[in-house]
Amino acid sequence: MFQEVKDALPVSGDGYDAQIIREIKACALDLTTSAEIVLPGTVAISRNETTGVITDTSTLTDELIITAISIWCNMRIGNPPNYDNLLKAYESLKGQMRISNHYTHFRTEVTEG
């Protein structure tokens, strides 16, 4: 998942890798806490600070979620001139996922009767 997100960003080289990882995790947290979206997979990315080697054992493969994460990262890395448009796109995707059973049906609720 890391490489898919990185490939969608206007960055080259490895200089932004640590920030990309932080932003991916921050976006996953935003989706699950502020929008109450249940991710259909996990985000598990780490970077060895000494060697720079990235280990990505994420199981999240959902294209819409990865698109939302890519937009978030585009919005947060550097100073994009289209920040407002990226924010609108991210909020729109988040809203679509929030009302979709596909991103909320993973929850199980137990009620006593």
Give pLDDT tens digits for 80-98: 999 999 999 999 999 999 9
> What is the value of pTM for the model shown?
0.89
Radius of gyration of the chain (CA): 15
Q: For the chain, give the number of residues.
A: 113
Q: How far apart are CA 27 and CA 70, in angstroms?
A: 9
Alpha helices in the chain (DSSP H): 2-7, 17-33, 63-76, 83-99
Between vectors from CA 31 to CA 61 and to CA 2, what angle results, nearest 5°? 40
Number of structural domains in the chain: 1
**Domain range spanning residue 42?**
2-103
pLDDT digits (tens, 9 = 90+) for 22-49: 999 999 999 999 888 999 999 999 999 9
Token code pair at residue 17: 């890798």
Q: What pLDDT was estimated at residue 35?
A: 81
Segment 41-62 shows an average pLDDT of: 96
Q: Per the domain annotation, does 109 fall within a domain?
A: no
